[in-house]
Structure 1
Amino acid sequence: MNQAGNLKFGVLCNSTQLQYWQEQVILRLIEDGHRLVIVVMPENEENDSKQGIQKLLKYPYRNFLFRIYFRFLLKPGAKQLVDAEYLFKESVVLRDKGTKDKNFYVFSKNSLEAIRQSGAQFILRFGFGLIKGEILNITPYGIWSFHHDDPEVVRGVPSNFWEIYKGHPTNGAILQKLSEKIDAGLILKQGWFPTILHSWEGNINQAYFGSIDWPAQVCRDILLNGDRVFQTATKPNPGKLCLAPQNIPFLKFLLKMGYYRLRYHLRELFCAEQWVTGITKANPVSLIEGKLAPEDFIWLKNRNRNEYRADPSGWFDGAQLRLFYEYYNYSKPKGSIFTTTYNENGKLSFGKETIALNESTHLAFPFIFNEDQKVYCIPETSEKNQIELYEWDEVKGRFLFEKVLIRKIRAVDTIAFRHKGYWWLLFTVKERSNYELHAWYSPALTGLYQPHALNPVKTDIRSARPAGGIFRYKDKIIRPAQNCSPYSGKSVVLNEIEELSPTAFRERVFKEIRPMWNSIYNQGMHTLNFSGPYLIVDAKRHIFVPNNFRNKIRDKFRRLKSWLL
């Protein structure tokens, strides 16, 4: 463990011009107090020596369409070139006179010695292609390199392309410590994003911008937990190598992307979500070891296709269950928190539906919990840019504002629970609401809350966004999460929390709870809570809603007008 509170690092790059995302990676490290001490570039940039007719004869015409598109039409913001020389002013800058060994670059002895003398503890590889030899082990923590695909699914070139071509719902990325074997180094950080099937440019930006904090996060982990990040790291099982697409596959890719774009817009217009809330008598054992069936549930049905009830939670007082949920109406596209009761008199029956909380801004995901004989709610208030706590007033029959727990954060689907002396808040943030999990903690429910040292503690479209409160199954701590691949609210994933402290977080997927296939609401599930003897869930179908159609058309014209102006 480094006692000085920061690390020294180096960069391997091809010139003083970096891609924008690479500049941001370095800036994040510097902002965290780490020092860039050495930069190594090749002595001469490689030039194509072929001239005239020889160059024409050797040109890879089988990749012509891809090469033209990649060079002239593909313009992702993450890869725009920036002058990064200002970052190198306090660093040793070397021009290396290395050699080529087949497809690998081998660094000169002078550069290797300079790296040793610099005291760099790790090196970021942003250039030089494939490398091997002494450079791989010259620093204590090795050479770190990004791979913007899931190497077990897609590896090779170009990045973030084949997921679209093959229709994969997820797009992975890793930060690895390089080894002599290609694509087989230790995975220091890994994440999964939703594949943006209708935009290669968007797919690239999402994966590259979504991973720029990873080296700084690994550094924090090293400073807090020593070498454990390397001891617990795994190696990938590399998948089939993919190469640059030839002309016919690239034409197919363009057609597929056009189809996906058309499908995306049509779904927005014609496939609105309609959620329904339901309850049944169940416990964690029956949920995990049994099966859900729609006939076992009593459903809080929607009156018409213009409305839905989702994100249910509640509390059981020993006699009745009070249920809370988001009520949404497409004619006024803003959520409110509604409540009703269930009384068991021979059979379960609904009470009167009333408004528990209404604001001028959108409200959703009312997370309900008890503490000191009081009933609290943390609703989603991302539009207010803060996390708020409310207390239930039984006499007034509504929630009353208690306190702002965290300011200046657009939190989505917050849950709260106690664990090892702390109150924990877990949530995603609006900008990356489906795949980045954040944790904050405090000794007391009402604060002061501090961010987890490794935020975001998880990046995974399949199991990050909270879906309900923590519960126990045997000796396991289970955290329900939303599987948002290939679309938001596809199913609920149960994660087992294996470690949670202010400096560590680790969980694994334990089980997936899928929508009930023999129900008309069989196209999604994204909330699961227990209250007393009851299991509370929601379920989804896609339907055409005229008001949603009008809202989306208006939004599209507004965006088009803004783009034209």
Structure 2
Amino acid sequence: MAMYRIGIMVDQLHLQAWQLNCVQELQLSGLARIEVIILNQHPLSSKKSSNFLYKLYRKVDRFLFKPAQDAFKKQFIYSLLEKTTPVIPVQPIQSKYRDAFSSENLNEIASFHLDIILRFGFRILSGPILALPRLGIWSFHHGNPRYYRGGPPAFWEVMEKQASTGVVLMRLSEALDQGEILYESLTQTDPLSVERNAQKLFWVSSFFPVRVLKRFALDPLVVPASSPIAPPAPLKRNPSNWQMLALLTKHLWNTIDRKFDEWKLPAHWEVGSANVEIIQISGNTVIPPKSFLKNPFPNTYLADPFPVKEGKTTWIFAECYDKKSAKGSIVVLDGNGLGHRVLEESWHVSYPFIFSVNDTFFMVPESSQVGKLYLYEAIKFPFHWERKSILLAIEGYDPTIYKNEKGFWLFVNQKSHELSSPFDELHLYFSPTLTQAHWEPSPLNPIVSDVRKARPAGNIFNWGDQLIRPAQDSELRYGHRIRLMEITNLSLTHYQEQEIGRVEADAPALGIHTLNFQEETAWVDFYFRK
């Protein structure tokens, strides 16, 4: 396989941790080699100096919420690169906001025959440099360019209570913020801290270049890219002192109000049902919160319902969350108020995904707390289960298995980094058999990187000739609603899906995040605060 020749544009030889991780991921992939460092000899900032209150807020926020794995900690670039990696010093031709390159510098860079230049430095680029690498200059924009351009990154989304914060990898063009988007992701905005919001955003972006190269390696004739954003969002700037005072006052009040509501009205879930006829697969469905399943376990709530029919009996498996111990177990209910605890571990378990193979029932619950997915076998269904094996040694969220004529497909959310969100990224694995399974990851992983439609929300099911994957939409809040995604192409090297419908809970419920069917009944869980 051909190696992609990459150059790195920097303002100094010390890079931030997320940038170094980006370089390291490229090197470990076996797809790329860093050929040259392009060093700015006269770096200028395009930004105006920050005002006092903004600086003070960011220092306090960083002091309170800076993680051990700090995305912005600087380290010498040669701690990763070979000491012989050449450096091209560049004195850019500078205008008010833009940097261009002399013909001498262009010729020297061209001699390396680069496929890609990663931009970690310089200002807005202009001129022939943009077309010099075969696949262009790739640059990060930490913010959703449809709504936020400029800066500071991850700041305005928190202050303006935006539900999500975006990040893109873009191939640059002469038009500012109008390049082709090579990769993008959306995550739920941290409601409290700009620092925390920025940390997870910058860490996840460090994996984007290697993901694009893996996709490109599958089809070298096409670079995956979407059209430029049009029209671009207005430019944002660092807030003035008066702006910052108003923003902080409002932010503080919102935080106090939110924390008081969380204390006064803690999260609560209930399992309910509805007639399958009300579900609009192609369209929007609003399910009234009623027909609740009786919960026989005191001081708990039930969520994640998975119905299983055995003979004439329909059993409802669910997570039973103990409010005192803050730990979940798996219970089974018969629909008449009788329940039995069937799986309890020393760690939290939830999302009891159950399926059968050759008349034997198996369960793969979520057990992300221990960093493993376990396969359980029913010794005496539905009450007695035995841990059979480790299905996959990963920190996986809401594992969902789909079986077809080729074998078993595992859909599961994973975090690309310790500080990433478990809501955002869906991974795909395949195994031809369940016993002694070797789960092969898709080179496209993650196949979805979007808080609105990544995390599984129940069994993948057929509706006529459509294959539907229910997905949690946690953009506004965890468990807000479900998006129905039609899978149109399923293989390890090609995956495509499209949204065809949504399922929401009617008031007074605040959300819904599991949808499963048993004959004429749809089983769901409703989110409340009470």
Are the aligned partners of 1:199 and 1:257 in contact in 2 as well (CA < 8 Å)? no
CA distance in 2, matches of 1:262, 1:455: 39
- The within-5 A match list for 1:264-413 is 265-282=259-276, 286=280, 288=282, 291-294=285-288, 298-302=291-295, 306-317=299-310, 319-342=312-335, 350=336, 352-394=338-380, 397-407=383-393, 409-413=394-398
Are the aligned partners of 1:469 and 1:529 in contact in 2 as well (CA < 8 Å)? yes
Q: Using a 3 Å threshold, how does the CA distance of structure 1 residues 286 and 490 change in structure 2: closer, same or farther? A: closer
Match of 2:85 in 1: 91
CA distance in 2, matches of 1:264, 1:115: 53
What is the aligned counterpart of 2:22 among 19, 22, 25? 25
Q: What secondary structure, in the 3-state scheme, does the structure 1 residue paired with 2:423 have?
A: coil
Match of 1:242 in 2: 236
Name the aligned partner's letter for residue 153 of structure 1.
Y
CA distance in 2, matches of 1:195, 1:315: 36
What is the aligned counterpart of 1:66 among 40, 44, 54? 54
Match of 1:133 in 2: 127
What is the aligned counterpart of 2:410 among 393, 410, 425? 425
Q: C-alpha offsets along residues 481-526 of structure 1, whole Å, 9 cap, x if unaligned?
A: 1111222111111122233322233333322211122xx4x11111
What is the aligned counterpart of 2:427 among 421, 432, 438? 438
Q: C-alpha offsets along residues 246-269 of structure 1, whole Å, 9 cap, x if unaligned?
A: 121111222234334434543443
Per the TM alignment, residue 470 of structure 1 is displaced from its structure 2 partner at its CA by: 0.7
Name the aligned partner's letter for residue 335 of structure 1.
G
Per the TM alignment, residue 122 of structure 1 is displaced from its structure 2 partner at its CA by: 0.5
What is the aligned counterpart of 1:40 among 34, 38, 41? 38
What is the aligned counterpart of 1:470 among 456, 460, 467? 460
Are the aligned partners of 1:177 and 1:188 in contact in 2 as well (CA < 8 Å)? yes
CA distance in 1, matches of 2:520, 2:361: 18
Q: Using a 3 Å threshold, how does the CA distance of structure 1 residues 133 and 449 change in structure 2: closer, same or farther? A: same
CA distance in 1, matches of 2:353, 2:451: 21
CA distance in 2, matches of 1:222, 1:61: 40
Q: Using a 3 Å threshold, how does the CA distance of structure 1 residues 458 and 290 change in structure 2: closer, same or farther? A: closer
Match of 1:561 in 2: none
CA RMSD, aligned part only?
2.6
Q: Using a 3 Å threshold, how does the CA distance of structure 1 residues 267 and 429 change in structure 2: closer, same or farther? A: farther
Name the aligned partner's letter for residue 37 of structure 2.
V
Are the aligned partners of 2:485 and 2:499 in contact in 1 as well (CA < 8 Å)? yes
Q: Using a 3 Å threshold, how does the CA distance of structure 1 residues 73 and 163 change in structure 2: closer, same or farther? A: closer
Q: Using a 3 Å threshold, how does the CA distance of structure 1 residues 283 and 389 change in structure 2: closer, same or farther? A: farther
What is the aligned counterpart of 1:527 among 514, 517, 522? 514
CA distance in 1, matches of 2:471, 2:482: 6
Name the aligned partner's letter for residue 204 of structure 1.
A
Aligned length, in residue pairs: 517
Q: Which has the higher helix share?
A: 1
Match of 1:10 in 2: 7
Per the TM alignment, residue 288 of structure 1 is displaced from its structure 2 partner at its CA by: 4.6
Name the aligned partner's letter for residue 428 of structure 1.
N
Structure 1 stretch 70-79 or stretch 274-283: which is displaced more?
70-79
Match of 2:504 in 1: 514
Q: TM-score, normalised by structure 2?
A: 0.90
Q: C-alpha offsets along residues 240-299 of structure 1, whole Å, 9 cap, x if unaligned?
A: 22122112111122223433443454344333221111223316965555744437x532
Whichever of the two has the greater Rg, that structure is: 1
Extract unaligned runs of 5+ from structure 2. none
Name the aligned partner's letter for residue 389 of structure 1.
L
Q: What secondary structure, in the 3-state scheme, does the structure 2 residue paired with 1:503 have?
A: coil
Q: What secondary structure, in the 3-state scheme, does the structure 1 residue paired with 2:305 have?
A: strand
Q: What secondary structure, in the 3-state scheme, does the structure 1 residue paired with 2:451 have?
A: coil
Q: Using a 3 Å threshold, how does the CA distance of structure 1 residues 47 and 123 change in structure 2: closer, same or farther? A: closer
Q: C-alpha offsets along residues 54-112 of structure 1, whole Å, 9 cap, x if unaligned?
A: xxxxx979944335655897575322322223426232211113312442211122222
Q: TM-score, normalised by structure 1?
A: 0.85
Match of 1:150 in 2: 144
Name the aligned partner's letter for residue 400 of structure 2.
I
